């Protein structure tokens, strides 16, 4: 059982919902990334999604695009992100880490090399935004062979056939994009999320995390009532964009702790 699977099994046993924060590696300062990861874990994150910056992040809104640009300008690469995970693992052997990004940096490194280096660094899952499930079978097999969970996106527009395709190859969890468009956009409609989750659950044998558009404890709790986990990204990247450097880690930890408290309330209600 992978670290991600162990985490979700423990959450289910406790009647709790997962909290999955996202930050972009290297933003706003590469030397701070590992400190920020620890702040997320200490605040109550169950899984950490670490964004690998890319020059053409087509699925991301302006906030995460800017964070990618800042990180790339400071020389952040896939290799340096793996080094960050390795340093994080030196003092946190427990919190799962998922790399989220695009195919290009992985393909430039070579999928086999990436799988080996990610496994050695302590990566638990990989979500490649631009790998559709029908083209990702071999990639998913190589990740699983390296004991890394291949994680896939689903959207409001996903057909039952697409959901079933994802169900055949996904492990760890699936990430349901609750809004059409790009990250950080729009307003949440929890009833529409609640309407889609049963179709996913009936075809996908792993937990469902919901993200895009979650901005505070209130929306996180509402989404947690109808899902297994909540993913929050743009709001955290905004927080880091505006926080004073010396207080950024503490601000992250405080914000995550507020979300954790809200989700634990949702978990108790749902039991």
> Which residue numbers are catalytic?
49, 60
Contacts of 3 (CB under 8 A, 6+ apart): 94, 95, 96, 124
32's enclosing H/E stretch is none
Query: In the β-sheet with 208-211, what is the strand arrangement from edge to edge?
Result: 149-151, 125-128, 97-101, 48-51, 18-24, 229-232, 208-211, 174-177, 153-154
d(Cα 176, Cα 131) in Å, to the nearest integer?
A: 15
SS3 179: coil
Q: What is the chain's alpha carbon radius of gyration, rounded to the nearest angstrom?
A: 17
The number of residues making up the chain comes to 271
Cα angle, residue 53 at apex, residues 143 and 231 outer, rounded to 5°? 70
Half-sphere exposure of 242 (CA within 13 A, CB side): 7
């Amino acid at each position: 059982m992978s670290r991600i699977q162990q985490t979700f099994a423990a959450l289910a046993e406790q009647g709790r919902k997962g909290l999955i924060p996202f930050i972009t590696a290297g933003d706003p300062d590469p030397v701070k990334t590992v400190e920020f990861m620890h702040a997320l874990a200490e605040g109550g994150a169950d899984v950490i999604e670490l964004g690998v910056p890319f020059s053409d992040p087509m699925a991301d809104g302006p906030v995460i695009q800017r964070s990618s640009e800042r990180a790339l300008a400071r020389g952040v690469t896939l290799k340096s992100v793996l080094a960050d995970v390795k340093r994080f693992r030196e003092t946190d052997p427990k919190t799962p880490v998922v790399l989220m990004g695009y195919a290009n940096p992985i393909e430039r490194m070579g999928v086999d090399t990436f799988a080996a280096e990610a496994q050695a660094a302590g990566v638990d899952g990989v979500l490649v935004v631009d790998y559709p499930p029908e083209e990702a079978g071999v990639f998913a097999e190589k990740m699983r062979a390296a004991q890394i969970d291949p994680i896939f996106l689903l959207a409001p527009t996903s057909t039952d056939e697409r959901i079933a395709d994802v169900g055949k190859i996904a492990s760890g969890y699936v990430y349901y994009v609750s809004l059409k468009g790009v990250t950080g956009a729009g307003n949440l409609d929890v009833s529409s999320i609640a309407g889609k989750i049963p179709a996913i659950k009936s075809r996908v044998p792993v937990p469902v995390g919901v993200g895009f558009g979650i901005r505070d404890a209130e929306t996180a709790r509402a989404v947690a009532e109808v899902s297994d986990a909540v993913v929050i990204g743009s709001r955290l990247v905004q927080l880091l964009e505006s926080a004073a450097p010396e207080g950024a880690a503490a601000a992250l930890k405080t914000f995550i702790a507020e979300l954790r408290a809200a989700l634990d309330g949702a978990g108790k209600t749902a039991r």
